[in-house]
Structure 1
Amino acid sequence: MEKIKVGVIGAGKIAERLHLPQYSACSNVSIIAICDIIKKKAEKLAKQYKIPKIYTDYKKMIKEADIDAVSICTPNYLHSPMTIFAAKNKKHILVEKPMALSIKEMKDMIKECKNNNVILMVEQTQRFDPAHEILKEIVDSGILGKIATIRGKLGHSGPEFWSDDSPWFFDKKKSGGGVSVDVGIHILDLIRFVLNDKEIESVCAKTANLIKKKIKLEDTINAVIKFKDGILGSFEASWSTSPYEVRVEVCGSHGKAIVQQANADPQRIRVWTIDPKNPYNTIKEHKYNIPEKSKHMSPCAHFINCIIKKQKSVIDGEQGMKSMAVILAALKSAKTGKFEKVFEKDG
């Protein structure tokens, strides 16, 4: 069996909790190297996952470690330079969300990966939740009729309760923003995924710091989005929601579907349809089972399969950029107080 040799850049919580366990579960992967500027962190995970090579310099790892691919699990401001360096050295790349902090950076990443014929995938976990995959299939089936609106919400108590590497999340130069780029990108990308990555034309957003007064970034964002085909949507993201929850509701001419999950409540899908000629007396509920795992198994498994089969991922650089472009426009709207066009350029 062909095995893809992987190196992981960054030995923080996202590598420990997601990338390394998922790669370890893949029979077609060998984790060859791990890199972190704090050597002890890299050593700890190397021991746990039996990784033979340890580095403190990502460039040295990419050049010397004999790897085919990298996971970039570092603070957001490093995503672009690390991706570009890896691409120039012919490595396939799985980069954590958000893809990067500007349209220019993301375009440069995409260009470099295309020029060097390597895969660029953005790690957006919500696309790989089996309930969200079922929701997309429900929408695709047409059972809900013509889609009119979509709403999404995702919130938790903040990165400081999830990761011991959290200080950089609150440094705008390193993170690019507060909850909008940390959690907002998740729910916005999920909305786009459910609607087959439809193009979003404009966004109007309001941000606020409601709970975390010690930081200078937003802990809450609410936004309205206009799709190019006329669908209206909204999303909310929060670092002041406890317990954790994620919810998506899709409404169409023939019914609605809701997926909801929370730490305090089991995940569930609810779907109702109606006869539009007699909506009050024809309500029918449809039952769906949620699989235990994604049809792709996991984001890292999907990334590896895309490398082996030379196929496009469900969230490549182009789609990663389109989702982040909406967040950048939302942050601009929060300053101007107006609907802002979603441009694929800065400014």
Structure 2
Amino acid sequence: MHSSSKGSNRGALIVGAGAAGLLHGLSFRAHGVPVLAVYDPDRDKARRFAELVGGPRVLDDLDGVARDPDIGCVSICSPPRIHVEQAELCAASDRLLFVEKPVAMTRDEMMRLEKLPFTVPIVQWRAGRAIRTVRRAIAEGLLGPTPSVAIDLAWHRDARYFAEGRDRYDVWGCGALLSVGIHALDAVCFALDRPVAEVHGTLGYAAGIEVETRAALDIAFRGGALASLRITFDAGMDQTRLTFCGAGVTAAIAGSEADPTANAVEFVAADPAKQRVLQALADKVEGVGHSPLLVPFIGRALESFREGMIPGASSHFPSVRDVAIAHAAIFRVYEGESRTQRAIHPPSTVSTCPLT
């Protein structure tokens, strides 16, 4: 419990006036929290943002934000490279601090972020009905002790996406694996709910782009569960599929980029009686069945904060430590190859980084 349970009744600050910031702003307004301020180094972008969310003041910088008594919530929606730096400027002992994924770029940054009060990572895929159903089925042993998971992200990213600096380390800080793959990998780690034992990764590069545009990741979890992630930005459309298999059961979650875990799970069991058990479980698991998941995710976090809870107290109110498993798995792949080496890869090459 904490004594600052009314902090979320004040207004919100949005840091980063892009698409993610706009969705955060609209989510706050949906829950009765006014957006009081916005910061973005591009002042024209910040002004346009302000017009869309009710006219908050546009800040010149983040100096003094930590002492502003009117701000009860902050959302860090800027490029990942500066998430932790800006979170440290905005954190306060009576304030809820949301940080978009990936929350950090390195283990060091993750440790710094863990020290900040009331910090909540934006992991809205965890709120979806489908992933919560699979998590429950795994917890009840319906997929056996060692499920295997295939994670397939075939997404389309064109020149407009990279034109905003997402092709560079000094602007964005990471490529497909951490910037996008973290969404699905975190959801799978949430469903399996066990530590990682071993990681192997492969990064692929395209001409003229510093960061990886495709990647493959194989993870062994403690106890024997396995997960394999494949991601590419070269697809013709956005397709996402998470497939969990074990003990004669397949559980598939499919959709596009937009919150696929809000969809229904497709269960197939070799045993008809087990199929009925799985369907009954799916009918009773609580979870959000519509997109955007960010709106109910932020709503539950605000409610939890008002009730005096601290992040990590429930699966609806996660802490930075809760997302460390998925981030650390990717950090281990990145650590296997120096940033300089990655930046000078010739076109269409790959780098394999085995780690234990």
- Alignment match, 2:265: 269
Instruction: Using the TM superposition, give the Cα deviation of residue 297 of structure 1 relative to its aligned residue in structure 2, in angstroms.
Output: 5.3
1:148 aligned residue? 147
Q: Give how far 1:124 is off.
A: 2.1
The 8 Å contact of residues 62 and 90 in structure 2, kept in 1 or not, is answered as: no
Deviations 1:219-272 (Å, cap 9, x if unpaired)? 111111011122111111221123111111111224121111137999552112
Which structure is richer in relative contact order (CA contacts within 8 A, separation 6 or more)? 2
Unaligned runs of 5+ in 1: 276-280, 342-347
Q: SS where residue 271 of structure 1 aligns? A: strand
Which residue in the other structure is 2:200 paired with?
Answer: 204
Q: Report what 2:327 is aligned to.
A: 324
Task: Classify 1:323/1:130 alpha carbon distance in 2 versus 1 (closer, same or farther; 3 Å).
Answer: same
- Partners of 1:186 and 1:217 in 2: how far apart? 18
Give the CA deviation at 1:166. 5.0
Distance 1:121 1:135 in 2: 23
Residue aligning to 1:292: 290
For the structure 1 residues 176 and 241, does the alpha-carbon distance in structure 2 shift closer, same or farther, using more than 3 Å as the test? same
Residue 43 of structure 1: how far off its partner (Å): 1.6
**What's the counterpart of residue 69 of structure 1?**
73
1:295/1:49 CA distance change after superposition, 3 Å: closer
Q: Output the CA distance in 2 between the equivalents of 1:95 and 1:62.
A: 15
Contact in 2 for aligned 1:175/1:181 (Cα 8 Å): no
With structure 2 as the length reference, what TM-score do the two structures score?
0.80
Over the aligned positions, Cα root-mean-square deviation in angstroms equals 3.0
In 1, Cα distance between the equivalents of 2:298 and 2:248?
36
Aligned to 1:345: none
Aligned pairs, number:
324
Distance 1:300 1:155, change over 3 A: farther
Q: 1: CA distance between counterparts of 2:130 and 2:319?
A: 21
Counterparts in 2 of 1:50 and 1:263: CA distance versus 1, 3 Å: closer
User: Structure 1 counterpart of 2:132, which letter?
Assistant: E
What letter is aligned with 1:304? L
Measured in 2, the distance between the counterparts of 1:242 and 1:230 equals: 35
- Contact 2:156–2:237, Cα closer than 8 Å, also in 1: yes
Which sections of structure 2, spanning at least 5 residues, go unmatched? 339-350
Partners of 2:337 and 2:152 in 1: CA distance: 18
Counterpart of 2:307 (choices 306, 309, 318) is 309
Q: Deviations over 1:50-77 (max 9, x none)?
A: 1432212122444346201210011112
Q: Which residue type is aligned with residue 256 of structure 1?
A: T
| 1:278 paired residue number | none
Residue 92 of structure 1 corresponds to which residue in structure 2? 96
Deviation digits for residues 268-311 of structure 1 (CA, Å, limit 9, x no counterpart): 52112235xxxxx9884755568336899523223312321233
Asked if the contact 1:99/1:321 (under 8 Å) is kept, the reply is no
| Change in 2 beyond 3 A, CA 1:131/1:100 | same
Residue equivalent to 1:246? 240
Aligned residue number for residue 139 of structure 1: 138
2:40 paired with 1:36: yes
Q: For residue 119 of structure 2, what is the amino acid of its counterpart?
A: L
How far does residue 330 in structure 1 lie from its aligned partner after superposition? 2.1
Residue aligning to 1:185: 182
Indicate the residue corresponding to 1:49 in structure 2. 53
Q: Distance in 2 between matches of 1:125 and 1:295?
A: 6
Pick which of 133-142 and 293-302 moved more: 293-302
Q: Distance in 1 between matches of 2:234 and 2:212?
A: 10
Residue of structure 2 in register with 1:7 after alignment: 13
Matched position secondary structure for 1:185? helix
Work out whether residues 153 and 230 of structure 2, in 8 Å CA contact, stay in contact via their aligned partners in 1. yes
Q: Secondary structure at the match of 2:234?
A: coil
Distance in 2 separating the partners of 1:303 and 1:41: 28
| Distance 1:159-1:37 versus aligned 2 partners, 3 A rule | farther
Question: Residues 262 and 127 from structure 1, CA distance in 2 versus in 1: closer, same or farther, beyond 3 angstroms?
Answer: same
TM superposition shift of 1:187? 1.6
After superposing the two structures, state which structure 1 stretch, 32-41 or 80-89, moved more: 80-89
TM-score calculated relative to the size of structure 1: 0.82
Identity %: 19
Q: Secondary structure at the match of 1:241?
A: strand
Could you tell me how far 1:175 is from its partner in structure 2?
A: 2.6
CA distance 1:159–1:135, shift in 2 (3 Å): farther
